[in-house]
Every structure is written in structure tokens, then in C-alpha cells.
Amino acid sequence: MTLWPRAVRSAVKTGHAREIVAAYPYRSAAPTSLWASLIDSASQDLTLAGYTNYFLWQNHPRLGARLKAKADAGAHVRFLVGDPDSAVTARREEVEDVPLTVSTRIRITLDALSKIESTPHIEARFSDAHIALSVFIFDDQMLVTPHIAGLLGDESPMFHLRRLGEDGLYDRFASHVTALWEDARPVGNADAGGTQGKHGGKRPTP
């Protein structure tokens, strides 16, 4: 005799699947309020590892001021962005073939960061290795977007994860981001439509 009826077993998550809070067929299907809630509730670690991170500035008013306040309160804020002048970015622009190019979207992020660059605990680095996978960390929660070839980021699926234990889905993606961060190049003196100083406040790995 089974202790759990089949209907219950199919509805209850088990194992590492319990870390999946929600799944969205498109990143754009996730409500803006979800992003806002995660940003506002995080108090220790905000790691924004999208290739451009452009949509964050467009969808969240006063994001720079909110992130600065987080950093002033002791949170570590990290941005991992693509290099606007790299060959990887140029190839991606050819694939997307849209007026608002990848490099332009990156430079919008760099320009926004230049306004809060002097804040301790805010740091930005260049990497071309996350062109196909975006990871956004908010303390013990995470949003992950595996990019489908030929589609924009908001057209790709997204998963909302919550860390429940060691070596689960959250930890696997967090380790991936840590490896990218360690190999990334500090953003400094980049052409962002203005001056872009070196970001300080190196944080420990998640």
C-alpha cells in the first residue's frame, strides 16, 4: 500500500525539484513585481549576471538609488556584463539584428553604473562567457534564464529558485557565477558614453 496517493505524489515536489519555486516559458511572463520584491528584500548579495542587464534599468525606477542604498547598508552588489567591444558581442548583434544593439544596451548599463561607481561594495566586471545563460542572485533566491538560440532574453524561459540545501540547483548555478566572476575583467575606463571608473568593494564568493 502506498502512503501517498498518485495525485498527491504528482503535485508535491521532491528532491532537488523543491528548489524550483516557479517556471516561466518567457522571462517577460514573470511579473515585474517579482523582480522588485527580490531586489528590495535582498540584504546581503545581489549579483546581476545578465549579458546586458539593460531591462533592469528600464523596468525598475530608481534602480541605481535602490542598489546604492543596499550597498550603503552593507550588501554586496555585483554586475557581470558582456564586453561591448568583444567579438562575442558583435556576433550576437548579427544574430539579433535589432536597432537597439547588444553593445548599446551594455553601454546603457555601464552609464547607469557610472553614477554609483564610488559606492563601496558595488563592483562590475566584463565577461563574454555568460552570453547563453543569465543568472540573477538575491540572497538565497535566484532567477535563471537559459537563452534559446536566436531569441532575445525576454523571449527565453526563466526559473525562480530558492536555496534549500547544499549542492542543489541553486548552488550549482551559484558556483557557475563564481567561476565566471573570478575569470572576469574589472570594468574600468570603459567607453560608456562618459567616464567609467574602476568599481571597488570586492566581495567573497557566494
Taking only the tens place, the pLDDT of each residue in 30-64 is 999 999 999 999 999 999 999 999 999 999 999 99
How many angstroms separate the CA atoms of 176 and 192, rounded? Answer: 27
Q: Could you state, in order of their start, the residue ranges of all structural domains in the chain?
A: 18-186
Render pLDDT for 169-189 as a digit per residue (tens, 0 to 9). Answer: 999 999 999 999 999 999 974
Q: What is the pLDDT of residue 193?
A: 37
pLDDT at residue 154, rounded to an integer: 74
> What stretches in the chain show pLDDT beneath 50?
1, 7-10, 189-206
3-state secondary structure 139-202: CCEEEEEECCCCCCHHHCCEEEEECCCCCCHHHHHHHHHHHHHHHCEECCCCCCCCCCCCCCCC
- Fold for 18-186, please state it: Endonuclease; Chain A (3.30.870)
Tell me, what's the pLDDT at 16? 74
Residue 4 confidence (pLDDT)? 52
Q: Residue 153, Cα to own-chain centre: how many angstroms?
A: 11
